[in-house]
């Protein structure tokens, strides 16, 4: 099977290295910018890939929306299956890609968009062959998990830990997509689409960990809790909810004990019960592995079919919980004291909680919010 790689960065190089050790798959073309093209396989002219009928699969690992969006559409229209690791473009254009794939009799495979090397999307698809999936959730971003874990282990504050993560290559120079929850939002939207067979609301409430302090972690640790940034979604009785926010979980939960930059993602099915999957959520070889697994699945005849035809109503109350706000903004009337400088509002939904946090941030830009896990 002849394949082409779009974008020869961290992930693209991982794919190339893995394919070099396999029989039956060959990287025949690699697209990158003109000044990065070396050797006979590399080109900066996409038509050399689109017009080559021997190339069956295009692996897009450029990242970003454009030109990735256009290139994916063109590949599908040219009758080539597409494997992508690009969560931003899939979260934004999943329905368009899925329809193009259907129309042209080819496939779109997206394992590498969520959870790096963890077989997460394939596991959701497998589980829903039998079960209605009632919830998905998890630690889907290694950068923020690394930061929280290092803050606890090194008794260090956010800023210095972020700097260290940047030095180690675990965080980007502009860390916003990670620490503000945008990366987790994209992954949560993709997982909702697949697990619930519906097009997820693009405006789910999102809160990151930019304002998390060591003192916040200590405050929760005194109560046996650890804070992790989770994407979460549930469905019930024709409705669904999804959110991205810091969650305070029991320190004896699996989530609380996920170290360094690892991911842990969960689903709950009616007959299989809860399943959790742990592994490297990013990186050249793990993410490359996920893309090559998709290629091998294609070679074995796996043809994921995404139609998003279920009409579920976005109902954030399905994720209602008890929210802690650490802020200098005075507590609203229905709040209880949680700790010095922190108050608790019980049983509000994540949209209402996010609105309350926005009010707090307007008065105290350092405000932090976390929801208490109900599992413990």
Residues annotated as part of the active site:
187
Query: Closest CB to a copy of itself among 60 and 294?
Result: 294
Applying CB under 8 A, which of residues 243, 280, 320, 367 lies at the interface with a copy of itself?
280
Asked if 95 touches a copy of itself (CB under 8 A), the answer is no
Total number of residues shown for the chain:
376
Per DSSP, the residues of 61-130 read ---SSTTHHHHHHHHHHTT-EEEE--HHHHHHHHHHHHHHHHHTT--EE-GGGSSTTS-HHHHHHHHTTT
CB 93 within 8 A of CB 100: no
**Closest to a copy of itself by CB, 34 or 129:** 129
Q: Are 150 and 241 contacting, i.e. CB atoms less than 8 angstroms apart?
A: no
Q: Which of 175, 181, 286, 350 binds a copy of itself (CB under 8 A)?
A: 286
Q: Which is nearer to a copy of itself, 99 or 134 (CB)?
A: 134
Is residue 273 part of the contact set for a copy of itself (CB under 8 A)?
yes
What φ, ψ does residue 311 adopt, rounded to 5°?
-100, 85
Q: Which is nearer to a copy of itself, 170 or 343 (CB)?
A: 170
**Touching a copy of itself, residues 16-75 (CB under 8 A):** 17-18, 21-22
Q: Please give the residues from 300 up to 319 whose contact with a copy of itself meets the rule CB under 8 A.
A: 300-302
Q: Could you say which DSSP state residue 309 is in? A: B
Stretch that binds a copy of itself, among 61-69, 78-86, 137-145, 248-256 (CB under 8 A): 248-256
Position 144 contacts a copy of itself (CB under 8 A): no
Least Cα distance to 148 among 212, 196, 75, 77 occurs for 212
The backbone torsions φ and ψ at residue 326, rounded to the nearest 5 degrees and listed phi first, read -105, 105
Residues that bind a copy of itself (CB under 8 A): 14, 17-18, 21-22, 117-119, 123, 126, 129-131, 252-254, 256-259, 269, 271-280, 283, 285-286, 288-289, 292-293, 296, 300-302
């Amino acid at each position: 099977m002849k394949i082409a790689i779009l974008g020869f960065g961290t992930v693209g190089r991982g794919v190339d290295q893995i394919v070099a050790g396999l029989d039956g798959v060959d990287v025949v073309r690699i697209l990158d910018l003109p000044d990065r093209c070396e050797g006979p396989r590399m080109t900066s002219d996409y038509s050399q890939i689109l017009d080559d009928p021997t190339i069956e699969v295009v692996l897009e690992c450029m990242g970003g929306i454009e030109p990735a969006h256009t290139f994916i559409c063109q590949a599908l229209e040219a009758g080539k299956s597409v494997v992508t690791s690009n969560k931003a473009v899939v979260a934004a254009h999943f329905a368009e890609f899925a329809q193009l794939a259907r129309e042209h009799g080819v496939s779109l495979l997206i394992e590498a968009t969520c959870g790096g090397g963890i077989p997460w999307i394939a596991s959701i698809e497998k589980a829903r062959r039998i079960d209605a999936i009632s919830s998905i959730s998890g630690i889907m971003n290694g950068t923020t998990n690394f930061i929280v874990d290092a803050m606890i282990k090194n008794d260090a504050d956010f800023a210095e830990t972020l700097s260290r993560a940047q030095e180690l290559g675990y965080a980007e120079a502009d860390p916003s997509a990670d620490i503000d929850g945008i990366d987790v939002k994209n992954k949560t939207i993709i997982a909702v689409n697949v697990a619930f067979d519906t097009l997820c609301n693009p405006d789910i409430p999102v809160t990151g960990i930019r304002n998390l302090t060591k003192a916040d972690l200590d405050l929760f640790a005194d109560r046996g809790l650890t804070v992790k940034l989770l994407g979460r979604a549930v469905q019930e009785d024709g409705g669904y909810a999804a959110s991205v926010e810091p969650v305070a979980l029991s320190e004896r939960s699996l989530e609380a004990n996920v170290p360094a930059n690892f991911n842990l993602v969960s689903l709950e099915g009616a007959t299989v019960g809860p399943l959790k999957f742990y592994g490297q959520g990013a990186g050249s070889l793990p993410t490359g592995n996920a893309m090559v697994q998709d290629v091998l699945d294609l070679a074995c005849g796996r043809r994921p079919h995404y139609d998003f035809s279920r009409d579920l109503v976005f109902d954030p109350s399905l994720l209602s919980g008890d929210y802690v706000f650490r802020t200098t903004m005075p507590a609203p009337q229905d709040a209880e004291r949680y700790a010095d400088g922190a108050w608790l509002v019980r049983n509000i939904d994540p949209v209402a909680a996010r609105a309350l946090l926005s009010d707090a941030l307007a008065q105290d830009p350092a405000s932090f919010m976390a929801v208490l896990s109900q599992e413990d």
